[in-house]
Structure 1
C-alpha cells in the first residue's frame, strides 16, 4: 500500500519519519489495520501472511500491538456482517469504492459497533485523517458521509 507524502506523491513502502513520529500508538495501530484489510481485499492473502508482512513495517513497534491484532482479526472474521452494517449508507455500490476507503470504513464501522468506549466523533475523525493519508483525493468525503450517517443511527444517545 502506497502512502502519500506531504506533496501528494506516493512512496511505495516508505514511512516518512516526520509524519509517523507524530502519531500516537492507537493511530498507528489503525493505520496498520487498514493496511492489513487493504491487503486482504486486494491480494486475498491469508491473515497470518498479512500479519507477518505488517509486523516487519517501519514504526510497527510504536503501535498498540494488542489493538492492531485484535482489530485486524475481529474485522477479518466479521467482514461480511460489517459490510452489511454500512452498505445502506453508501451512495454507490460497495464494489465501486476504492479498497482504501473500503478498509477505512470497515475499521471505523467495527469501532462504532464494538468499541463503545470510544466516542463516535473520535472514530470518524480518525477514519477521515487515515483516509487523507492513505486514500484518494476526495475519499475522505465518502468516509465522512457514510460514518456520520451510520453513527447517527447506531449511537443516537451519545
Structure 2
C-alpha cells in the first residue's frame, strides 16, 4: 500500500475511534455518525489549533465506514474476544471509553479484515493510544490486541 494510502487508513482509524466513542456517549447510531463524519468532519479543518490547517481529507472513508459498521455488527463477538484476555476481575465496562473503542476497532480488524496484516493493526492502535495517553494504556492496548490476534488469527 502506498504511503498516502497508509496515511488515509491511519486517519480512518482515528476517525473510527472518535465515532465509536461518540456513539457510546451519545447513543447515536452507526449510520448517522458515519454520515456526520462524511458530511461535516472529513475535508474540514481539525479543531486542534496545534494542527493548524490539518484536515481529515485524506481519510479512507470506505475503510472508516467498514470499521464503524463492523464493530457494531460484531460487537458481542469482539467484546467476548477482548474480555477473555482481560485480567481476572476486570470487565470491559471498567476500561476507559477511548481505550474500549481502540480495542473494539482493533479486534474487528484482526477478526474480520484479513487484508490488514496483524502487525499493522496492532501497531496502528498502539500509536493511536500513545497519541491519547501518556500512561500505561499503549502497553495495555498492545497486550490485549496481541492476545486477541493469537486467538483469532493463530500463531
Structure 2 counterpart of 1:85, from 58, 81, 85 = 81
Partner of 1:24: 7
1:17 paired residue number: none
Pair 1:43 & 2:43 matched: no
In the superposition, the TM-score normalised over structure 2's length comes to 0.79
The residue that corresponds to 2:141 in the other structure is 143
Which is helix-richer, 1 or 2? 2
For the 8 Å contact 1:54–1:60, the answer to whether it is kept is no
Task: Quickly say closer, same or farther: Cα 1:135–1:53, change in 2 above 3 A.
Answer: farther
Structure-2 separation of matches of 1:127 and 1:87: 18
Provide Cα deviations, 1:69-123, integer angstroms capped at 9, x if missing partner: 1211121122122111211111221111001110000011001111112221111
Which whole-Å CA distance do the structure 1 matches of 2:91 and 2:111 have between them? 21
- How high is the TM-score relative to the length of structure 1? 0.78
* Alignment of 1:66 onto 2:49: no
Q: Is this contact kept in 2: 1:124–1:148, CA < 8 A?
A: yes
Q: CA deviation at 1:136?
A: 5.9
For residue 61 of structure 1, give the secondary structure of its aligned residue in structure 2: coil
Deviation at 1:148, TM superposition (A): 1.1
Cα distance in 2 for partners of 1:126, 1:146 equals 14
Point out the more displaced range, 57-66 or 86-95: 57-66
**Helix, strand or coil at the partner of 2:116:** coil
Match of 1:108 in 2: 106
Task: Please state how far the C-alpha of 1:137 moved relative to its aligned partner.
Answer: 2.8
Alignment equivalent of 1:123, drawn from 115, 121, 124 = 121
CA distance in 2, matches of 1:84, 1:146: 12
**CA offset at residue 49 of structure 1?**
3.0
Measure how far apart 1:50 and its partner are. 1.7
- After the TM superposition, which parts of structure 1 deviate over 4 Å for at least 4 consecutive aligned residues? none
Aligned-pair CA distance for 1:135:
4.2
TM-fit CA distance, 1:61:
2.4
